[in-house]
Structure 1
Amino acid sequence: MALKALLWVCAALALFAAVTLWRARAHEARVERHWPPSGRILEVGGHPVHVWEAGEGPPVVLIHGASANLRDFTFSLAQRLARSYRVIALDRPGLGYTPRLGDGGASIAEQAGLLSEAAAQLGAERPILLGHSYGGAVALAWAVHHPERVAALVPLAAASNPWDSPLSLYYKLTSHPWLGPVAVTLITAWVPDRVVENAVAEVFAPQQVPQGYGAHFAPGLTLRRATLRENALQRASINAEIRALHSRYGEIAVPTEILHGDADTTVGLSIHSEPLAGQIPGARLTVLEGIGHMPHHAREGAVAAAVDRAAARAGLR
């Protein structure tokens, strides 16, 4: 009887695993049909990079944050900047439609190398860099490691300095060497897209999510297995990477306009942008009163004005 029960349990587990894999593949196929690439795929050293372009003028490169993709910028800000600039929005490795660089989680330095090559290949050899949140860390790594490939810097609610809080249980699980792949498959298969939409609302707080943002942002793309896994690995390693990078911010010699909301509970102003303003020579910090983690939606005009100031300081205007 015990053997028979064990066989039934094994059969049930095998059936559950098969259904889970089928649901995960079906979910990924559905969301990619619904939200196909909005730009074009550029080959950079043999690696695909998803690029969205618009406008004419001095080049501005937009680098999105964690769990996101370039659609975060193309909801509104990119079109506004395209009135005066050549805007290039890029999907970071493993997110959106830029594939992962490997299985270990791309570092901020590796991402900066790939994206700077992509921009140069597009003829934007010295762009203005605007990086939001995690993307701000990539922009800072770009400015440190490739100073000849940047004209000005606009860190936006950027993760820039080390912090003491531990990694969340969610990221500990999804970045785990062998539990992680299992966990992300279960999430892709069984977690509905509305869970991501609810998480987005928390990131926007205390502001409201703009009408139509959820449909444009493509939350289902975040729930793909490769994206969940890569995002988790990147989040698990970023604090240590920033700890190694932040002592070099004094080497950044380009005009820098920093923006950060004082109501941001995702990336704290006092931990990140306030110290950053003193670490980069000549950097200017604009504190946005009452604004949370998404100032490029809540105070789009202030962000565009910061780009204008950076461009003028760099002699591009």
Structure 2
Amino acid sequence: MLITVVSVIIILVATLYFYNQHKFKKVLLFPPKGNFVNVGDIKLHYISKGDGKPLVFIHGGILTGNDFEKVIDLAAAQGYHAISFDRPGYGYSQRYKDKKMTPIEQAVLIHDALTQLDVQKPIIAGHSWSGTMILAYALLYPDEISGIITLSAAAYKEGYPAANGDAISTIISIPIIGDFILNTLLFPLGKIMAEGMLKATFNPDPISPAYREDTFLFWLRPGQFKANREDVLAFAPAAEEIHCRYKQIKVPMVIVVGEKDPFGVVEQAHRLNRDIPESKLIVIPHIGHMIPQCHPHRVMEAVYELNFLMHK
């Protein structure tokens, strides 16, 4: 009986492992659309379109720089040089395994990448998780940017969904156990998790079928899922470390948030606006979290507002 049980377990684990590997390899059928820049010992993937003043877009905590695909097209058509990065460990970008990848360290990496690309005085826009990252960028390099735009952005520990930790992220971070889960259970269980996340993230807008497919394709890979869970845990300490310095930010800033955003960032947007009195707050009625995907023209309206602040 024991031999039978062990054999069934081994077969089940092997089946799950090879099923997951088959799903993970599907991403190889979709080659990168952009280019790569070497930063230290890793490569970052980025998409670049258009000419003119540089506009840099940083995606949130789930997918890739392609979150801004519609915005990039609009920006390029309006005379901007639009650049969107896959953050470290996401999409086609590599990630250090033995170094911290907090929002602050990722701000340094993006800065180094822009330096390599000779991108000078950009406007930087960050969505969701990357709110704190671009705020860190503004604090680190105040003379090297023209302005910043936060989109549905998290900026404080208070009100962040994982402010006091996250069980899934903690389990995934456990050596051996985490890798076992990532390579056997991630796709079947993660697909259920992804559906719930997509519903909350897109509401009240419909979920894009293409975005759902990309979520299954990219987010449900061991490397990217682990990067995401590491970022979830790294956010609160980084926000706690730098939030008291937000008032030092002097570059023009536009804060954009959807009225129906479910992730607590509406309150955070108001708080950020109070901390940075020179900023402009835009609360858009009737929309939720996925502004770059569902309302790309709103991002360009924020760029227009930022330009107005820059030339006052």
- CA offset digits 1:210-259 (Å, max 9, x no partner): 464445x4531110001111110110121121111111112211100110
1:266 equivalent in structure 2:
263
Asked if 2 retains the 8 angstrom alpha-carbon contact of 1:104 and 1:233, the reply is no
The question of whether the paired residues in 1 share the 8 Å contact of 2:37 and 2:44 is answered with yes
Corresponding residue for residue 109 of structure 1: 104
Tell me the residue number matched to 1:143.
138
2:237 maps to 1:230: no
From 183, 186, 192, the counterpart of 1:185: 183
Query: Are 2:44 and 2:85, in contact at CA under 8 Å, matched by a contact in 1?
Result: yes
Which position in structure 1 is the counterpart of 2:241?
244
Report if the CA contact (8 A) 2:194-2:215 is conserved: no
Change (3 A) 1:115 1:42: same
Q: Which amino acid aligns with 1:291?
A: I
Q: CA deviation at 1:195?
A: 5.9
Instruction: Please name the residue that 1:156 is paired with.
Output: 151
CA distance in 2, matches of 1:163, 1:173: 23
CA distance in 1, matches of 2:241, 2:216: 32
Sort the Cα spacing of 1:103 and 1:267 in 2 relative to 1 into closer, same or farther, 3 A.
Answer: farther
Q: Which residue of 2 aligns with 1:286?
A: 282
Q: Percent identity among equivalent residues? A: 26
Q: Is the 1:64–1:131 Cα contact (8 Å) retained in structure 2? A: yes
Which residue matches 2:75?
81
Are 2:126 and 2:151, in contact at CA under 8 Å, matched by a contact in 1?
A: yes
C-alpha change, 1:121 and 1:226, in structure 2 (3 Å) is same
> Which deviates more from structure 2 when the two are superposed, residues 221-230 or residues 138-147?
138-147
Q: 1:182, CA displacement in angstroms? A: 2.3
Paired amino acid for 2:201 = V
Where do 5+ consecutive residues of structure 2 fail to align? none
Kindly indicate whether the alpha-carbon contact (under 8 Å) linking 1:128 and 1:311 is maintained by their aligned counterparts in 2.
Answer: no
Preserved contact between residue 89 and residue 223 of structure 2 (Cα < 8 Å): yes
Deviations 1:61-86 (A, max 9, x none): 10000111111111x11111112210
Q: Which amino acid aligns with 1:248?
A: R
Describe the shift of the 1:178–1:194 C-alpha distance in structure 2 as closer, same or farther (beyond 3 A).
closer
Q: Distance in 2 between matches of 1:59 and 1:86?
A: 5
Cα separation, 2, equivalents of 1:55 and 1:129: 16
User: Are 1:131 and 2:126 counterparts?
Assistant: yes
Question: Higher mean Cα deviation, 186-195 or 204-213?
Answer: 186-195
* Structure 1 residue matching 2:26: 3-state secondary structure: helix
State the one-letter code of the partner of 2:86. Answer: D
How big is the alpha-carbon RMSD for the aligned residues of Structure 1 and Structure 2? 2.3
Q: Distance in 2 between matches of 1:232 and 1:295?
A: 22
Distance 2:217 2:66 in 1: 12
Distance in 1 (CA, whole Å) between partners of 2:19 and 2:47 is: 30
- What secondary structure is seen at the aligned counterpart in 1 of 2:266? coil
Task: Pick the aligned partner of 1:68 from 63, 66, 77.
Answer: 63
* Equivalent position amino acid for 1:242 in 2: A
Task: Provide the rounded CA distance (Å) in 2 between the counterparts of 1:12 and 1:213.
Answer: 36
CA distance in 2, matches of 1:40, 1:91: 11
- Which of the residues 202, 205, 209 maps onto 1:204? 202
TM-score, normalising length from structure 2? 0.90
Flag the 1:149–1:7 CA change in 2: closer, same or farther, 3 A.
farther
User: Aligned equivalents of 1:133 and 1:9: distance in 2?
Assistant: 46
User: Quick check: 1:37–1:97 contact (8 Å CA) kept in 2?
Assistant: yes
Residue by residue, what CA displacement relative to the aligned partner does 1:129-150 show, whole Å, maximum 9, x if unpaired?
A: 1000012221111111222332
Corresponding residue number in structure 1 for 2:24: 28
Q: Is the 8 A contact 2:256 2:283 kept in 1?
A: yes
TM norm structure 1:
0.88
Superposition deviation, residue 273 in structure 1:
0.8
CA contact (8 A) 2:255 2:269 kept: yes
- What is the alpha-carbon distance in structure 2 between the residues aligned to residue 187 and residue 72 of structure 1? 26
Give the Cα–Cα distance (whole angstroms) in 1 for the partners of residues 51 and 309 of structure 2: 19
Count of residue pairs brought into register by the alignment: 308
2:172 to 166, 171, 174: 174
Which residue does 2:218 correspond to in 1? 221
Mapped contact 2:21–2:183 kept (Cα < 8 A): no
Corresponding residue of 1:120? 115
Structure 1 gap ranges (5+)? none
Q: Is the 8 A contact 1:133 1:267 kept in 2?
A: no
